[in-house]
Amino acid sequence: MEKEYCLEPLKIAFYDGFWYLIAVKKGETQIQKYRIDRVKMVTILEETFASRVNIDKILSDSVNIWFDEVRGDRVLIRVAPEAVQFFKECQYLPLQKTVEERKDGSIVVETFPAQPDEIRRIIMHWIPCLTVLEPAAFKAEVKAMVEGYLKAC
């Protein structure tokens, strides 16, 4: 179903194999993301606008398209020893920071996802090397996803 929007474009960004237009709908405040390959037509208007967001800062803090302007609560994740070097060399999680180095060679990292989807897929990709420690509700959600997958196998 085709829709028409009047947008204030902020940036074009590439995430996970797709180009996105990052924009705000005229008269609104929520950042929106539109896959460019799904855009049917563009009309450039004479109107101008002043951006109210620092999109460069928001994008630099993001690791995938599931970002938002406001960061959520802290999530603690244990990284198993066999994956520690990867997480020390690359930022896989938004605002990723090592907060503890354990004697067993593992580390604990903190992250501040804008929403669970911003880190859920990353965690699933790295299982069994990542374990959510807190918050308890998110830990239970990831556990339920894994159990659901195992039941379907």
**Burial status of residue 61 (CB atoms within 10 A of its CB: 0-12, 13-18, 19 or more):** middle
Q: What is the pLDDT of residues 60-113, one digit of tens each?
A: 999 999 999 899 999 999 999 999 999 999 999 999 999 999 999 999 999 999
The half-sphere exposure of 12 on its side-chain side, counting CA atoms within 13 A, is 5
Q: What does the alpha-carbon distance between residue 6 and residue 56 come to, in Å, rounded to a whole number?
A: 22
Maximum alpha-carbon separation in the chain: 61
The verdict on pTM exceeding 0.75 is yes
Contacting residues for 55 by C-beta, under 8 A, at least 6 apart? 10, 11, 22, 31
